[in-house]
Structure 1
């Protein structure tokens, strides 16, 4: 393989059942459980791996800390961010930003998952933004 391919994002959590249930509801995709400590939510476009703290013993102590993220935003391209907001708003404990049109042409909803990780659901609105994500739709 001569190229690097992004495969998935893995989130380490202290409450795997809660976090898996949240992402199943937020994405509309069912999780595949490999063990009681590891599950994956796989779609055509993304994979979210969720591991309990017990999985860290395979990598070494102190490599990850649940609920400590302050620098990464997990982003999902959605067809209609306003509809998604209405669908999931009761699922969300902390809404950081209700759907807002950004200067670069996306409409964006920012919220936190139960562990405090920042999530962005966004929909391209402008022609330039739609071209970037190859989702030009008739308006």
Structure 2
């Protein structure tokens, strides 16, 4: 699998309440999206970003990072072939991504995501 970008998923109690610190103080002022339970904030100057997550709306566990890849189907097949625990199977979500969650050997849950072309 080839990772194109990795974004930290930071657990927060309330996305809107946390927004001021990350968007204003840290300079991650571009809100790429906000679905209420997850929002991504990015610096327009550097491209640095973070996702604020209250709780994953469609998965039983929360992930610590989101790994973006061009071929999520191959990444899923590879994870299965390597015997990694699949926490959430490959799914096309209503908001336009195809993703699955996999548990790393250290126990962290990783969100592997591909965007529809």
TM-score normalised by the chain length of structure 2: 0.45
Q: Which has the higher strand share?
A: 2
Choose 1 or 2 for highest CA Rg.
1
Structure 1 length normalisation: TM-score?
0.38
Greater helix content: 1
Structure of higher RCO (CA pairs closer than 8 Å, 6+ residues apart): 2
